[in-house]
């Protein structure tokens, strides 16, 4: 049957995973970055500590640290159970076991929780929901979506995806989305129709291989930018 969750869950990947999922170069990491649906984002905590410029956007940031910690604890067993049930759908190389995965994810989310109050005061964690973003046009170089758009294609319509990506392209020069598979490991049913609309809008939308694969077959990101910028 494949991986199933009845809602979008707060679950966070590590800084190192973000770098590989989005194939971020040293130059990319110096850009103004927006993470949409960033959840418990160690990426923000670590990059900010290293002097980078990153803002994360997610509905869970309306809650305080204790409330987010408790949501993560509630989510933990549900996610780990789904991973155990669908063990063969993952590549157990860099991450060697379900227990190892639990440790890596919890360590990444702890990194976020420790940073959250400071980051919120500094304006690095902004609460809100796609398909609307509270930012000026072109205020970022790069907007990222990890494990939200396309992954939850059963929960979110094609129209929601299109509106969200157009909004991300309004505020950033380039958008990267990873993965483009759904929770049960199939290509998203929205990918072709949404990218066709974006191409009609004048964007170039391409799949690029990345040096990251945990969910089997999920090793490509979608890169969208104005056609004139691609050569």
Ligand X SMILES: C[S@@+](CC[C@H](N)C(=O)[O-])C[C@H]1O[C@@H](n2cnc3c(N)ncnc32)[C@H](O)[C@@H]1O
Residues at the interface with ligand X (CB under 6 A): 8-13, 36-39, 58-60, 129-130, 146-148
Which residue number, 66 or 228, has a Cβ lying nearer to ligand X? Answer: 66
Which residue number, 147 or 190, has a Cβ lying nearer to ligand X? Answer: 147
Which residue number, 117 or 226, has a Cβ lying nearer to ligand X? Answer: 117
> Least distance to ligand X from the beta carbon of 177, Å?
11
Do residues 76 and 55 touch, judged by C-beta distance below 8 A? no
Token output for 139: 């205020």
> Least distance to ligand X from the beta carbon of 124, Å?
15
Residue 179 φ/ψ, nearest 5 degrees: -90, -175
Which residue number, 7 or 84, has a Cβ lying nearer to ligand X? Answer: 7
> Least distance to ligand X from the beta carbon of 17, Å?
7
CA nearest to 151, candidates 123, 181, 130, 112 = 181
Which residue number, 54 or 199, has a Cβ lying nearer to ligand X? Answer: 54
> Least distance to ligand X from the beta carbon of 176, Å?
12
Which residue number, 176 or 225, has a Cβ lying nearer to ligand X? Answer: 176
> Least distance to ligand X from the beta carbon of 200, Å?
24
> Least distance to ligand X from the beta carbon of 202, Å?
25
């Amino acid at each position: 049957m494949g991986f199933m969750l009845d809602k979008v869950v707060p679950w966070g990947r590590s800084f190192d995973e973000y770098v590989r999922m989005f194939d971020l170069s040293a130059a990319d990491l110096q850009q103004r970055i927006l993470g949409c649906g960033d959840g418990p984002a160690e990426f923000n905590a670590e990059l900010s500590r290293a002097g980078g410029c990153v803002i994360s956007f997610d509905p869970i940031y309306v809650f305080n640290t204790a409330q987010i910690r408790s949501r993560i604890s509630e989510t933990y067993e549900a996610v780990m159970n789904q991973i155990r049930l669908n063990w063969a759908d993952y590549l157990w190389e860099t991450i060697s076991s379900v227990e190892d995965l639990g440790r890596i994810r919890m360590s990444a989310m702890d990194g976020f929780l420790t940073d959250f109050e400071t980051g919120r005061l500094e304006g690095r964690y902004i609460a809100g929901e796609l398909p609307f973003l509270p930012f000026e046009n072109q205020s970022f170089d790069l907007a990222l979506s990890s494990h939200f758009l396309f992954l939850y294609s059963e929960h979110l319509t094609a129209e929601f995806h299109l509106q969200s990506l157009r909004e991300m392209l309004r505020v950033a020069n380039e958008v990267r989305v990873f993965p483009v598979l759904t929770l049960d490991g199939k290509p998203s049913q929205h990918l072709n129709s949404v990218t066709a609309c974006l191409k009609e809008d004048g964007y170039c939308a391409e799949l690029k291989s990345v040096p990251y694969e945990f969910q089997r077959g999920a090793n490509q990101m979608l890169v969208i930018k104005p056609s004139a910028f691609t050569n």
